[in-house]
Amino acid sequence: MKKIINDPRNYLNEMLEGIYTAHSEMVTYVNDDFQCLVTKKKKEGKVGLATGGGSGHLPLFLGYVGEGLLDGCSVGDVFQSPSAEQMLEVTKEIDSGSGVLYIYGNYNGDIFNFDMAAEMADFESDIRVESVVAGEDVASAGPASPGEKNTRRGVAGIFFVFKCAGAAADKMMDLDNVKRVAEKAADNVRTMGVALTPCVVPRVGKAGFSIKEDEMEIGMGIHGETGIRRGKLEPADQIVEEMLEKILQDKPYKNGDEVAVLINGLGATTLDEQYIVTRKVNQILNEKGIEVHKYFVGEYATALEMAGVSISLIKLDDELKELIDYPAYTPFFKQ
Amino acid sequence: MNFTNKEGISLVNDLIKTIQENRDYLSKVDGAIGDGDHGINMSKGFTMAEEELKKHSDYNMSEGLMVLSKMLMGKIGGSMGPLYGNLFRGMATVSKDKDIIDSKVVGDMLEKAYSNIASISSAKPGDKTLMDVLDPAVKKYVHEINMNKNMIEALNSMAESADEGLESTKDMVAKIGRASRLGERSRGFQDAGATSCNLILKSFAKSIIKITS
Domain residue ranges of chain A, discontinuous segments joined by + = 8-188, 189-319
Give me Rg for the CA atoms of chain A. Answer: 19
Which chain B residues touch A203 with a CB distance below 8 Å?
37, 40
pLDDT one-digit tens code per residue, B187-211: 899 999 999 999 999 999 999 999 9
The shortest C-alpha distance from B75 to chain A (Å) reads: 6
Partners of A193 in the β-ladder: A310
What tens digit of pLDDT does each residue of A160-219 get? Answer: 999 999 999 999 999 999 999 999 999 999 999 999 999 999 988 888 788 999 999 999
Going along chain A, which residue ranges are E strands? 27-29, 36-39, 48-55, 72-78, 100-105, 129-134, 189-195, 215-218, 229-232, 258-265, 291-298, 308-315
Q: Give dist(CA A263, CA A281) in Å, integer.
A: 9
Give the closest-approach CA distance of B123 to chain A in angstroms. Answer: 11
Q: What is the CB-side half-sphere exposure of residue A260 using CA atoms within 13 A? A: 25
Distance CA A5, CA A18 (A): 13
Is the pLDDT at B180 greater than 80, yes or no? Answer: no
Residues in chain B, how many?
213
Q: How confident is the model at residue B182 (pLDDT cuts 50, 70, 90)?
A: confident
Cα radius of gyration (chain B): 16
CA-closest candidate to residue B43, choices B63, B81, B16, B70 = B16
Is B74 within 8 Å of A81 when comparing Cβ atoms? no
Of the candidates A138, A327, A143, the one whose C-alpha atom is nearest the C-alpha of residue A219 is: A138
Q: What is the pLDDT of residue B186?
A: 85
Helix (H, G, I), strand (E, B) or coil at A189: strand
Domain A189-319 fold is Hypothetical Protein Tm841; Chain: A;domain 3 (3.30.1180)
Cβ–Cβ contacts within 10 Å for residue A212, how many?
A: 9
What is the per-residue pLDDT for B35?
Answer: 78
Burial label for A273, CB within 10 Å (0-12, 13-18, 19+), is: middle
Q: Which of A65, A22, A62, A63 is nearest to A332 (CA)?
A: A63
Consecutive H or E run containing B3: strand B3-4
- The CATH number of the structural domain formed by B3-212 is 1.25.40.340
Give B52 or B40, the one with higher predicted confidence.
B52
Give CA angle at A311 (A309, A317), nearest 5°: 155
Pairing of strands A27-29, A36-39: antiparallel
Distance from CA of B116 to the nearest CA of A (A): 12
**Which of A75, A83, A86, A230 is the best mutation test for B, with the most CBs of B within 10 A?**
A83
Q: Do B78 and A86 touch (CB under 8 A)?
A: no
Domain ranges of chain B: 3-212
Superfamily of domain A8-188: Dihydroxyacetone kinase; domain 1 (3.40.50.10440)
Which 84-103 residues of chain A touch chain B by CB within 8 A? 84-86
Q: Give the contacts of A103 (CB within 8 A, at least 6 positions apart).
A: A49, A50, A51, A70, A131, A132, A134, A158, A161, A162, A165, A182
SS3 assignment, position A77: strand
- Mutation choice for A interface testing from B26, B35, B127 by most A CBs within 10 A: B35
**Residue A144 zone, left/alpha/beta (φ > 0; ψ -120 to 50; rest):** beta
What pLDDT score does B31 carry? 83
pLDDT for B92-143, tens place per residue? 999 999 999 999 999 999 999 999 999 888 899 999 999 999 999 999 999 9
pLDDT 10s per residue in chain A (335 long)?
Answer: 899 999 999 999 999 999 999 999 999 999 999 999 999 999 999 999 999 999 999 999 999 999 999 999 999 999 999 999 999 999 999 999 999 999 999 998 999 999 999 999 998 899 999 999 999 999 999 998 888 889 999 999 999 999 999 999 999 999 999 999 999 999 999 999 999 999 999 988 888 788 999 999 999 999 988 899 999 999 999 999 999 999 999 999 999 999 999 999 999 999 999 999 999 999 999 999 999 999 999 999 999 999 999 999 999 999 999 999 999 999 999 99
**d(C-alpha A150, C-alpha A135), whole Å:** 7
> Is A81 in contact with B78 (Cβ distance < 8 A)?
yes
Instruction: Answer whether the bond into residue A59 is a cis peptide, omega within 30°.
Output: yes
Does residue B177 register a pLDDT over 80? no
Q: Do B82 and A80 touch (CB under 8 A)?
A: no
Q: What percent of chain B has pLDDT over 90?
A: 80
pTM here is 0.91
| C-alpha dist (Å) from residue B198 to B26, B92, B163, B168, B177 | 11, 19, 7, 12, 18
